[in-house]
Amino acid sequence: MNLVLNCNNLSKNFDKYKVISNLDLQLFSGQILSILGSSGCGKTTLLRLISGLEELDRGEIFLNGKLVSQNGFNVPPNKRNIGMVFQNYSLFPHMDVYNNIAFGLSNFDKKDRDSRVKEVLEITRLEKFENRYPQELSGGQQQRVALARTLAPKPTIMLLDEPFSNLDAFTRSAMLTDIQKIIRDSKVSTILVTHDREEAFATSDYLAIMVDGKIVQFDKPNKVVQSPINKEVASLVLNCSFLSGSIKNGVLNTSLGNFSFKTVGLKNSQIIDGKDVNVLIRPEDFSVTYDPNGNFKVLSIEFRGMYSIVHVQSVNHGFLLKFIHNDKDQLWSIGSNVNLIKATTSPLIVYSVN
């Protein structure tokens, strides 16, 4: 695979605020990369730097081996062959679907323009809508028009800025598979930024986790989920809880009991004996059992169809945890006392307390 995008040591400040800090990123041909981070982490600014809408304070950006950005030098967006889909799609309301898509093809002759528009209409399954106007389309259809318009000029890279944020939950879920197929059929290298982990998991080959202007973990989505590098990453990619614990004689001690443990990015031996740690608790790690004398009280139950998410609070210590429960004949309800039993043999992940 060819290296399409190479970002080296990028930094960007707005006044005194450091938004991007010493960031490195690479994208290869045909890859779909999702950048996942909470609001304000710098992910949209990163897209704007890549597209040329913002100028770098430090670092270099290369597209297909050609320098396009460094301090004091910035190839303008219209010279980068980058396509960008904004949150609001930015469709032209006075143009029908055909002309929205053809807008970026002014340098094509009519025959080639018609051929390319027809091609992307087929890729995005919009053939029946080419004469309609944006206001006559559903949210999902408008999104496909925005993608088609972006794909039409055959960009080197496509950038998607929170592309599903304007869709309702049902439409968003249906569109995830559609969008991935459209991108794969077009074979365009793509970066998607989002704060929604489900969007990132469903669409991407690789996942970059961004915290405070830095990419702190980069890997395939399943690898990040299996082994989040720190507490912040775990909070972004998992519906998890955290518990205080300590390491004594190579064993993890917690208020739930003693367990085997593992670390991410460190050897277990690097966790000093007697050291306090944060323990990652996944919803599937423990099962909830009814016990009128149990040490936990059920605070709430979120029914999710095939299973429920149960929120419990320690009677003695006050901390909150959440777990998956799928027993249709449960004997407890909100307010009941319960106990927690380790449901898997997997060691629990621990993080050092800073």
Domain shared by 205 and 174, yes or no: yes
The per-residue pLDDT for 275 is 84
| Domain C-terminal end among 230, 265, 285 | 230
pLDDT band at 243 (very low <50, low <70, confident <90, very high): very high
The mean per-residue pLDDT over the stretch 324-344 comes to: 84
* DSSP assignment string, 86-155: -TT----TTS-HHHHHHGGGTTS-HHHHHHHHHHHHHHTT-GGGTT--GGGS-HHHHHHHHHHHHHTT--
Check if the beta carbon of residue 68 is closer than 8 Å to that of residue 80: yes
pLDDT at 106: 87
Same domain, 121 and 198: yes
**Both 274 and 216 in a single domain?**
no
Give the length of the chain.
354
Rounded average pLDDT over 28-54: 95
pLDDT tens figures, 273-331 = 778 999 999 999 998 888 999 999 999 998 888 888 899 999 988 889 988 887 766 76
Specify the pLDDT at position 298.
94
* Pair (256, 323) in one structural domain: yes
263 shares its domain with 143: no
Whether 231 has a pLDDT exceeding 60, the answer reads yes
Taking all residues of the chain, what is their mean pLDDT, rounded to a whole number?
Answer: 91
Look up residue 347 and give its DSSP letter: P
Given a cut of 90, whether residue 352 has pLDDT beyond it is no
Judgement on whether residues 226 and 243 belong to the same structural domain of the protein: no
Number of domains into which the chain is organized: 2
Domain-ending residue, one of 199, 230, 261: 230
pLDDT over threshold 90, residue 350? yes
CATH at 279: 2.40.50.140
In degrees and rounded to multiples of 5, residue 99 shows phi and psi of -75, -30
pLDDT for the residue 269? 58
pLDDT at res. 206: 97
CATH code for the domain in which residue 158 is found:
3.40.50.300
Predicted pLDDT of residue 299: 94
What does the pLDDT read at residue 267? 61
**pLDDT value, residue 5:** 98
Give yes or no: residues 314 and 256 share one domain.
yes
Q: At 12, is the secondary structure helix, strand, or coil?
A: strand
- Residue 303: give the domain boundaries: 239-352
Rounded distance between C-alpha atoms, residue 305 and residue 90, angstroms: 36
Q: Contact 184/175 with Cβ under 8 angstroms?
A: no
What is this structure's pTM? 0.88
Confidence of residue 232 (pLDDT cuts 50, 70, 90): very high
Res 157: pLDDT:
96
Q: Are residues 126 and 99 in the same domain?
A: yes
| Domain edge (last residue) among 230, 249, 275 | 230
- Using left for φ > 0, alpha for ψ between -120 and 50, and beta otherwise, residue 183 falls in alpha
Q: Are residues 154 and 94 in the same domain?
A: yes
Query: Alpha-carbon Rg of the chain, whole angstroms?
Result: 24
Rounded average pLDDT over 326-340: 83
Determine which of 2-6, 62-66, 112-116, 325-329 has the lowest per-residue pLDDT on average. 325-329
Rounded to an integer, the average pLDDT of 51-57 is 96
Q: Are residues 150 and 26 in the same domain?
A: yes
Spell 17-30 as b/e; 16+ CB within 10 A means b. Answer: eebbeebebebeeb
Is pLDDT at 259 greater than 70 in this prediction? yes
Q: What is the pLDDT of residues 176-186, one digit of tens each?
A: 888 888 888 88
Question: Does one domain contain both 7 and 111?
Answer: yes
The whole-number pLDDT of residue 99 equals: 95
pLDDT value at residue 89? 74
Please, which pLDDT band fits residue 270 given cuts at 50, 70 and 90?
Answer: low
Q: Report the C-alpha gap between 259 and 277 in whole angstroms.
A: 13
Q: What percent of the chain has pLDDT over 70?
A: 97
In a shared domain, residues 221 and 257: no
Q: Please give the share of the chain, as a percent, with pLDDT higher than 90.
A: 69
Report the b/e string of 70-82 with b at 16+ CB within 10 A.
beeebeeeeebeb
Kindly compute the dihedral angle of the four CA atoms of residues 82, 88, 93, 97, in this order, to the nearest 10 degrees: 60
- Mean pLDDT, to the nearest integer, of 155-167? 86
